[in-house]
């Protein structure tokens, strides 16, 4: 059922169309003039508008242009006499879907309406897809479609709109800085500075000076006044990674900044205001640090207005193929190598591994594989031996009830597959002679077509 507007200055035409359209289960609104039609369009959503081209007052062409501005998704069908067909064609060029000539052929009109509704559905679907694509592109560097990552993306989308402080938690390598950059680049501060600093990389004795600046002569090496990173980031964002490694004096100054937006350079007595958004991150248990008196509880509650917890890669393994493909495109392009694919066997190996180094480790593995392979596809032989061995062990653990010959057969087949059936390479991995492998292949009847589920 569609919502259809009929505009014609002849009452007989309006009534005929109303009865016909209602018989076809459509909802119908009638307008005797262009002015009345515009009022109805402003207050209602119509799927299709049927407009007489020649009307007293506002004619069909003028009404067409008005509807295109008010409701561009409404499909328009023009009614015209034979003598005004050129004008009807002009109307189609101005955005009408189609036209029908008088006397009206209702079967033809029914077909035109059905096609117009199909076009409208496709058009709306495309707009929805474009909007979704645009939204995804905003976070294009954050790869993943699993529930844990969808939760992260939903939180990021919310906090982008506000200047609230954000605490990003998670293991090393999960992408905490990438999240911080994404928040900044989609916020109102996107055109200003984003300054990241790792607290663990700055000695405690220098943290206050680096973060807040110092006056000339404030200490031995302070030969001139220096701005701190908070001052440099005015109107922008400061990202403090590993906030748990901030010294207690630095924590106190951060707390004062969060309370009133003011900072004071080391060696000066006056404070001044800076407009900076603070985003922090940690891979430590800050609540434990509070119990150990290593972190201020009042600062914790100020930086943890919104917490975004980054899931480890082992908890979102279904994202591994997406991430691997993403890194493959990046590094094959940078290295100017024509490497297009990752084999299914290689992906299976990657999925078996638990990734203690998280996304950062996967990134390094793909980069290494691109350097090692001499083919257009990444095969298991290009992956690090520790990842291959973990994959093999897990497969054996899943087959603990197998007989010893079957285990041996499975192991040899796995090693042959991981080396692309290069017997010499497989023999080195297993620590046995090439002749022994050849004998075992014949004994077990192995070939590249052998079922891997044995």
First to last CA, the chain: 56
Condensed to tens digits (0 to 9), the pLDDT of residues 41-69 reads 988 889 999 999 888 889 889 999 999 88
pLDDT value at residue 137: 47
Question: Domain segments of the chain: what residues?
Answer: 3-130, 147-309, 316-444
Give the pLDDT band of residue 395 (cuts 50, 70, 90). Answer: low
pLDDT value at residue 391: 56
Give the pLDDT band of residue 83 (cuts 50, 70, 90). Answer: low
Longest Cα–Cα distance in the chain = 98
Judged by phi (left if over 0) then psi (alpha if -120 to 50, else beta), residue 265 lies in beta
pLDDT value at residue 161: 87
pLDDT value at residue 419: 74
Task: Decide which of 118 and 244 is more confident.
Answer: 244
Radius of gyration of the chain measured on its C-alpha atoms: 34
- The chain-wide mean pLDDT, for the chain, equals 86
* Bridge partners of residue 308, in order along the sequence: 168
pLDDT value at residue 280: 98
Q: Which are the contacts of 372, defined by CB distance < 8 A and separation ≥ 6?
A: 382
Please give the CATH number for the structural domain made up of 147-309: 3.40.50.300
Most confident of 129-133, 260-264, 280-284, 387-391: 280-284
pLDDT value at residue 94: 83
Give the pLDDT band of residue 32 (cuts 50, 70, 90). Answer: very high
The structural architecture, per CATH, of the domain 3-130 is 3-Layer(aba) Sandwich (3.40)
Tell me how far apart the alpha carbons of residues 346 and 66 are, in angstroms, rounded to a whole number.
59
Q: What is the mean pLDDT of residues 64-87?
A: 85
Q: What is the mean pLDDT of residues 100-121?
A: 88
pLDDT value at residue 308: 96
Q: What is the mean pLDDT of residues 28-52?
A: 92
Condensed to tens digits (0 to 9), the pLDDT of residues 326-354 reads 899 888 888 777 787 888 888 888 998 99
Tell me how far apart the alpha carbons of residues 355 and 119 are, in angstroms, rounded to a whole number.
48
Q: Are 27 and 40 in contact (CB under 8 A)?
A: no
Task: Decide which of 398 and 414 is more confident.
Answer: 414
Tell me how far apart the alpha carbons of residues 367 and 388 are, in angstroms, rounded to a whole number.
16
Tell me how far apart the alpha carbons of residues 391 and 352 are, in angstroms, rounded to a whole number.
5
Percent of the chain with pLDDT over 90: 47
Tell me how far apart the alpha carbons of residues 382 and 365 are, in angstroms, rounded to a whole number.
9
Residue 407: is its pLDDT beyond 80?
no
Q: Are 324 and 368 in contact (CB under 8 A)?
A: no
Residue 14: is its pLDDT beyond 70?
yes
Q: Are 134 and 161 in contact (CB under 8 A)?
A: no
Residue 162: is its pLDDT beyond 70?
yes
Task: Give me the DSSP letters along 346-367.
Answer: HHHHHHHS--TTHHHHHHHHHH
Report the run of H or E that residue 76 belongs to, with start and end. strand 75-80
Q: Are 238 and 278 in contact (CB under 8 A)?
A: yes
Q: Which are the contacts of 7, defined by CB distance < 8 A and separation ≥ 6?
A: 30, 31, 32, 33, 34, 36, 37, 49, 50, 51, 52, 55, 60, 63
Q: Are 124 and 291 in contact (CB under 8 A)?
A: no
Q: What is the mean pLDDT of residues 311-319?
A: 93
Condensed to tens digits (0 to 9), the pLDDT of residues 228-243 reads 899 999 999 999 999 9
pLDDT value at residue 36: 94
Reported residue count of the chain is 454
Most confident of 350-364, 376-390, 433-447: 350-364
Tell me whether the CATH fold assigned to 3-130 matches the one assigned to 316-444: no
Helices 320-334 and 358-372: angle between axes, nearest 10 degrees: 50
Whether the model clears a pTM of 0.85, i.e. scores above it, the answer is no
Q: What is the mean pLDDT of residues 167-172?
A: 96
- DSSP one-letter code for 450: S
What number of other Cβ atoms are within 10 A of residue 79's Cβ?
A: 25
Q: What is the mean pLDDT of residues 443-449?
A: 78
316-444: CATH topology is Helicase, Ruva Protein; domain 3 (1.10.8)
pLDDT value at residue 184: 94
- Which of 28, 25, 27 is closest to 8 using CA atoms? 28
Q: Which are the contacts of 84, defined by CB distance < 8 A and separation ≥ 6?
A: 53, 54
Tokens of 43: 């207050």
Condensed to tens digits (0 to 9), the pLDDT of residues 316-325 reads 999 999 899 8
pLDDT value at residue 257: 95
Query: What are residue 276's phi and psi, to 5 degrees?
Result: -135, 135
Give the pLDDT band of residue 125 (cuts 50, 70, 90). Answer: low
Condensed to tens digits (0 to 9), the pLDDT of residues 178-218 reads 999 999 999 999 999 999 999 999 999 889 989 998 888 77
pLDDT value at residue 332: 86
* Bridge partners of residue 169, in order along the sequence: 282, 309
């Amino acid at each position: 059922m569609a919502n259809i507007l009929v505009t014609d200055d002849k009452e007989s035409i309006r009534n005929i169309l109303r009865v016909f359209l209602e018989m076809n289960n459509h909802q119908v609104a009638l307008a005797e003039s262009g002015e009345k039609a515009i009022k109805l369009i402003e207050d209602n959503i119509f799927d299709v508008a049927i407009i007489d081209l020649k009307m007293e007052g506002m004619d069909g062409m003028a009404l067409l242009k008005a509807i295109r501005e008010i409701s561009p998704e409404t499909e328009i069908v023009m009614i015209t006499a034979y003598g005004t067909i050129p004008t009807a064609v002009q109307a189609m060029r101005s955005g009408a879907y189609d036209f029908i000539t008088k006397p009206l052929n209702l079967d033809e009109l029914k077909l035109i309406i059905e096609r117009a509704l199909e076009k409208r559905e496709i058009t709306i679907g495309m707009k929805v897809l474009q909007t979704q694509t645009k939204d995804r592109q905003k976070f294009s560097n954050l790869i993943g479609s699993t529930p844990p990552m969808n939760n992260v993306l939903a939180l990021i989308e919310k906090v982008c709109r506000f200047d609230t402080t954000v605490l990003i938690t998670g293991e090393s390598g999960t992408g905490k800085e990438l999240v911080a950059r994404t928040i900044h680049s989609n916020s109102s501060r996107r055109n200003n500075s984003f300054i990241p600093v790792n607290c663990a990389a700055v000695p405690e004795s220098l943290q206050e000076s680096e973060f807040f600046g110092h006056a000339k002569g404030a200490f031995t090496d302070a030969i001139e006044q220096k701005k701190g990173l908070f001052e440099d980031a005015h109107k922008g964002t400061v990202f403090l990674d590993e906030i748990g490694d901030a010294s207690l004096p630095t924590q106190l100054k951060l707390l004062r900044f969060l309370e009133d937006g003011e900072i004071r350079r080391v060696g000066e007595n006056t404070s001044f205001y800076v407009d900076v958004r603070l985003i922090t991150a940690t891979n430590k248990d800050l609540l434990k640090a509070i119990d150990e008196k290593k972190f201020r509880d009042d600062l914790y509650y100020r930086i943890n207005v919104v917490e975004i917890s980054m899931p480890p890669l082992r908890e979102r393994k279904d994202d591994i193929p997406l991430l691997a493909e993403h890194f493959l495109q990046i590094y094959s392009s940078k290295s100017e190598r024509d490497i297009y694919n990752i084999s299914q066997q290689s992906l299976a190996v990657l999925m078996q591994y638990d990734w203690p180094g998280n996304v950062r480790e996967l990134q390094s593995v793909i980069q290494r594989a691109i350097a090692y392979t001499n083919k257009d596809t990444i095969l298991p032989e290009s992956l690090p031996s520790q990842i291959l061995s973990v994959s093999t062990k897990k497969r054996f653990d899943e087959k603990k009830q197998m007989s010893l010959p079957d285990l041996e057969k499975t192991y040899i087949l796995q090693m042959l597959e991981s080396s692309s059936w290069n017997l010499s390479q497989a023999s080195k991995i297993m620590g046995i002679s090439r002749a022994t492998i050849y004998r075992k292949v014949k004994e077990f009847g192995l070939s590249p077509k052998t079922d891997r589920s044995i």
